[in-house]
Chain A
C-alpha cells in the first residue's frame, strides 16, 4: 500500500525556470491538497481538489497552478520560479467527511524539498 507518493524528493531550480511536482495516491481518495511548509511557519494551503476536474485556491496560490484529470493524480505546476517559492511541498489526500471514521485525517506524502536560486 503506497499511500501518497511525491516526486521528486529534492530539486534545485534557477529563477525563472518551471517545473511540475508530481503527486499520486492509490487509496481512491476524492480530496487532495497541496501545502507548502516554510521553517517555523506551519503548513499553508496552496490548492486543493474535491474530485477529478474540480480544483480551488487555498491561502497562497500565486505562482502555482494545478490540474486534476483523474482521481489518482494531482500535479502542482510552478511557473517562473522565484526565491520565495523555496520551501518543502507536501501533497495530502483524504476521503470526504462522512465516508467512514478513518477518512477524516489526511494522509501525507513524504514531501518535495525545492530550492530556487
Chain B
C-alpha cells in the first residue's frame, strides 16, 4: 500500500519570499509523484510530475520539485511567491503498475502582501 504525508497543513509566507511545501511518501514499489494545486471553489489541476530521470522537475507558474528516493520525499519549492499563489496544494503518489493515486491531506499556502 502507498501513503502520502504532507508535513505542513498551513504555510503562511510574505510575497516575494521563497517557499517549500514538504511531502513524504511510503511505497514498497516504484512510484510516480505529483503535485496538484486547487484554487478556491475549483477542481485540482496538475502542477508538475515526476515519472523518471532527472530528480528535479519543473512545473507551471515557476514551481519546481525535487525527488529524493533515499528520503522518500518530493518537496515543492518556489523561489519567489506571488499573492496569486495562495491556494491548496496536494501531493499525490501512484504506483507505476497501478491506475489510482493516493493524495495527501493538503497544504494551504497563504501569501501575504
Question: Is B94 in the interface zone, CB < 8 Å from A?
Answer: yes
User: How would residues 90 to 112 of chain A score, 1 for a CB under 8 Å from any chain B CB and 0 otherwise?
Assistant: 10100011000100111111110
B27 at the interface (CB under 8 A from A): no
**0/1 interface trace, chain A 16-54, chain B, CB 8 Å (1 if under):** 000000000000000101010000111101001010000
B42 at the interface (CB under 8 A from A): yes
Contact indicator per residue, chain B 92-108, by CB within 8 Å of chain A (1) or not (0): 00101101111111100
Residues of A within 8 Å of B42, CB to CB, are 110-111
* A63 part of interface (Cβ distance < 8 Å): no
Report yes or no: A104 in contact with B49, Cβ–Cβ below 8 A: yes
8 contacts between A and B (CB under 8 A): A4-B43, A35-B103, A42-B90, A42-B103, A45-B102, A50-B99, A90-B44, A110-B43
A41 to B102, CA, bound (A): 12
Q: Are A43 and B99 in contact (CB under 8 A)?
A: no
- A58 interface contact, C-beta 8 A: yes
Contact indicator B99/A48 (Cβ below 8 Å): yes
The reply to whether B34 and A105 form a contact with Cβ atoms under 8 Å apart is yes
B46 within 8 A of A: yes
* Chain B residues with CB below 8 A from A111, complex form: 42-43
B residues sitting closer than 8 Å to A (CB atoms) are 9, 32, 34, 36, 42-46, 49, 51, 90, 94, 96-97, 99-106
Task: Report the bound CA distance from A40 to B88 in whole Å.
Answer: 10
Report chain B residues within 8 Å CB of A96: 99
Additional pairs, 18, CB under 8 Å, beyond known A97-B94, A105-B36: A40-B105, A40-B106, A42-B104, A43-B44, A43-B90, A48-B100, A90-B43, A97-B97, A97-B99, A104-B94, A105-B34, A105-B46, A106-B44, A107-B46, A108-B36, A108-B44, A109-B43, A111-B42
**Residues of A close to B97: CB separation below 8 A:** 97
**Complex interface: chain B residues within 8 A of A42 (CB):** 90, 103-106
Are A106 and B46 in contact, with the CB atoms below 8 A?
yes
Query: Which residues does chain B contribute within 8 Å of A31, judged by CB atoms?
Result: 99-100
B45 in complex: contacting residue of A40, A43, A58, A108, CB < 8 Å: A108
A73, chain B: closest CB distance, angstroms:
18
